[in-house]
Amino acid sequence: MKKVWFAALLAVAVSGAVEAKEWKSVRIGIEGAYPPFSRTEANGDMTGFDVDMAKALCEEMKVKCTIVQQDWDGMIPSLLARKFDAIISTMDITPERLKRVDFSDKYQHVPARFATKKGTPLELTAEFMKGKKVGVQRATSMDSYITDNFPAADIKRYGTAEEAYLDLKAGRVDYVLADYASLLDGLIKKEDGANYELVGPGLTDPRWFGIGAGVALRKGDAELKALFNKAIKDIRANGKYKAVNDKYFDFDAYGDN
């Protein structure tokens, strides 16, 4: 009886080993409309921190990397529908998202900030924020933060952050809430950005902003998760992360360890 039981156990173990997927190519979904993390150039190519980070991780993992452009609203549904295998698009690791997908360890953690026209005050109180027009990208951590903390604000939701910046310049919103680096690159440092500034504290509360942005994966893709986790650790150690980081930022986008 013991021999039969052992043989059956061995067969299961061997079967599991055979079924473990060996990843030789990985399709990665990236938005392409959230500079400096990602942007779509005139020729259709995507560039930015997330794009270069995806390429660095794939190189470290020794897999072929294919970048797939995907609008933000459809990012998780497209991952679950197997349009691509992973998301590297500044997606925060939050409890709500973990109900649907898995994540690697973080690869960056940039605080969120408010931007507004110079001289505009900001108080993060329910009384002050009541009726204030706040622009956010739809279905982001910033959207959740404003919705949960200041439901009496007049929240304007956009398909891309760039649309929110345009409405701030047009006076249709009082504030925009987005990642610090995106606000600098997409608004403050633009030729017409001199009249705008960042206000308020950096926002990193894990209830809304998670523990940083990670590589989103389908639940069950444990081998791919392990590959990404090792690659993130390795490029932090061998200098490849810093090379990508310093191309876009004058600070360490990884955040506190």
The CATH number given to whatever domain includes residue 71 is: 3.40.190.10
CA atoms of 79 and 20, how far apart (whole Å): 20
- Same domain for 103 and 217, yes or no, is yes
Report yes or no: 28 and 66 within 8 Å, Cβ to Cβ. yes
Domain membership of residue 140 as a residue range: 112-209
Q: Per-residue pLDDT for the chain (257 aa), expressed as one digit of tens each?
A: 434 444 444 444 444 444 568 999 999 999 999 999 999 999 999 999 999 999 999 999 999 999 999 999 999 999 999 999 999 999 999 999 999 999 999 999 999 999 999 999 999 999 999 999 999 999 999 999 999 999 999 999 999 999 999 999 999 999 999 999 999 999 999 999 999 999 999 999 999 999 999 999 999 999 999 999 999 999 999 999 999 999 999 999 999 87
57 within domain boundaries: yes
- Same domain for 97 and 218, yes or no, is yes
257 within domain boundaries: no
- Same domain for 227 and 105, yes or no, is yes
10 within domain boundaries: no
199's CB contacts (< 8 A; 6+ apart) are 113, 114, 115, 116, 120, 121, 122, 175
1 within domain boundaries: no
- Same domain for 131 and 91, yes or no, is no
Give this prediction's pTM.
0.86
Number of domains in the chain: 2
Output the pLDDT for position 15. 44
Q: Which residues does residue 29 pair with via DSSP β-bridges, in sequence order?
A: 68, 87
255 within domain boundaries: no
101 within domain boundaries: yes
- Same domain for 183 and 59, yes or no, is no
- Same domain for 105 and 215, yes or no, is yes
Output the pLDDT for position 78. 98
Output the pLDDT for position 146. 98
8 within domain boundaries: no
164 within domain boundaries: yes
